[in-house]
Structure 1
């Protein structure tokens, strides 16, 4: 546990200043770009524009660990091409569809129809639903289809059903002739590799990698991200991007931006309950325990000044299923 100078302070709910400001705060409301994010955007944009200007129905497989920022990327791209309502039709330039947890032809067709605004997603046979999909894709002027959570195809225990759905989807894509981006965890690539036609369609793969900390350049980028995050925090706080603290943030998050958001959001909520809200080592110590690893041993909480600074990837630790961190002195092979 931190020494007396950094021991957790007691929250005082009876002294809340600007309570609404803190409760409504989330760093997720800000789109903070970083190198991998921008490269992913460029890849999506290329497929999109090739479809518009060259009428090439290309494909892109975008994969990344949970928490790497995939959903934020595709939602931000979609929101840059907003839906527009007209008297006779609704224009949906970018259509984002969530793959059902246990995909079947029926529920995937219904998911696509729901995303297209069909009021009767449950009506009709599979063939009728498929025809409605084709009609609405044209009527809504869909320029790019993004299918998220694609790894659910290989999570299905019924491999034959998953293959049937993949074949149906392949047929839809062949007829629709619009570019497609499929998004998911790294194992989503297994689905593509198992189907020869899908493998040809999605031969372009982009891995949205987490941050690493094994080179000066990588450390500078991560610290730059923390400096940007610092600007949006609505309370006074220590410099997140200071070298020692940045390393601790990296270990606490495994380089995944979603965990940065978890810690910052929780820290603001904890600080907001103080009489004089501010974020220091104490608050970050508490925020890590609340948002990342509840009941973490104090000697492994990265925001304990006396913590053992090592990757938290052993059995029972928060990142045991993640790729290994790249700390100073590590090589790229260490992350394989």
Structure 2
């Protein structure tokens, strides 16, 4: 009953607030749980124990599979707290800088530590100050996001400098490091024997959802259902039904970030039309806006059996072939 009343209340909000709900919708899905659990394991290998030190680990995966979101969610579990000498920063999340050499990497790290810096300060001095800052603020877990950007094979010098920085940080024997990035991040780290020697390079790979097994299909359908529950409409849209979820998987490649963006666009169209839920027409319009040039097939309009790539088929009724005007909720 609370879920229904919350949904009805959200549906009656002004359009701008409903748009914000769609944009900021947060779903607790199994990939998020997997990422957070990996970070917890890299941070504190024994539940109820103490934080580990001197090891580097990695979380990798395709773009928009939830890696950065998991890192942010985990960091929020360990907010800054006052200490005897200053603020304690148990988990420090740093976004790496993709251009400009080592200096922007150091500056981003210094900024995350709240350190004052000057352009006249050379890299060696800034590095030493960072090492002291990590000790001073009692950082237990240092997370570098988008790590592949600073270890691009086209910039060998930067890769060497960044790996040297990681080794210096690990030599403090006060904290662990987690590098988050695209799948090549693992190879970047694995090719450095000195880094691999710092803990064996534990890693977790966050994969997109597939449609190849019953378990994966049910997980993706549950994900769609959770999005449906959180959308600000009077009625649910049936996004978790087998036929609709398969189409959503097709347009999103099973990637949660792409799914969220797609449903945001469809939801905005439904709000503009004053509808009580998202319809197939809205989904079709949202896909028409993003489909590649010269692409004709639209999974929310055309016969599903005519899709251009092979995926696991679901039995569809003849009525489900005429989708452009139908409500998703009644599919």
Q: Give the TM bin, normalised by the shorter chain.
A: 0.7 to 0.9
Contact conserved, 1:248 with 1:309, CA < 8 A, in 2? no
Change (3 A) 1:215 1:89: same
Change (3 A) 1:48 1:269: same
Contact conserved, 1:113 with 1:133, CA < 8 A, in 2? yes
C-alpha distance in structure 2 between counterparts of 1:121 and 1:222, whole Å: 49
C-alpha distance in structure 1 between counterparts of 2:145 and 2:118, whole Å: 19
2:90 is equivalent to residue 106 of structure 1: no
Contact conserved, 1:67 with 1:257, CA < 8 A, in 2? yes
Contact conserved, 1:248 with 1:303, CA < 8 A, in 2? yes
Partner of 1:210: 208
Task: State the shift of 1:143 in Å.
Answer: 1.3
Instruction: Give the TM-score taking structure 1 as reference length.
Output: 0.80
Change (3 A) 1:177 1:210: same
Q: Deviations over 1:205-231 (max 9, x none)?
A: 211011111111111111111111110
Partner of 1:238: 237
Q: Deviations over 1:148-168 (max 9, x none)?
A: 111113425221332233223
Task: State the shift of 1:101 in Å.
Answer: 0.6
Change (3 A) 1:91 1:39: same
C-alpha distance in structure 1 between counterparts of 2:85 and 2:291, whole Å: 52
Contact conserved, 2:224 with 2:245, CA < 8 A, in 1? yes
| TM superposition outliers: structure 1 runs of 4+ over 4 Å | 85-88
2:18 is equivalent to residue 22 of structure 1: yes
Q: How does 1:42-81 map to 2 (within 5 A)?
A: 42-50=37-45, 53=50, 55-81=52-78
Query: 160, 163, 173: which one pairs with 1:163?
Result: 160
Change (3 A) 1:217 1:77: same
Task: State the shift of 1:109 in Å.
Answer: 1.3
Instruction: Give the TM-score taking structure 2 as reference length.
Output: 0.81
Structure with more relative contact order (C-alpha pairs < 8 Å, separation 6 or more)? 1
Q: Residue 181 of structure 1: SS of its match in structure 2? A: strand
Query: 138, 142, 146: which one pairs with 1:141?
Result: 138
Q: How many residues align?
A: 297
- Please tell me the root mean square deviation across aligned C-alpha atoms, in Å: 2.5
Q: Residue 62 of structure 1: SS of its match in structure 2? A: strand
C-alpha distance in structure 1 between counterparts of 2:16 and 2:265, whole Å: 15
Q: Residue 101 of structure 1: SS of its match in structure 2? A: coil
Structure 2 unaligned blocks of 5 or more? 1-11, 314-331
Partner of 1:249: 248
Change (3 A) 1:120 1:147: same
Change (3 A) 1:86 1:164: closer
2:93 is equivalent to residue 93 of structure 1: no
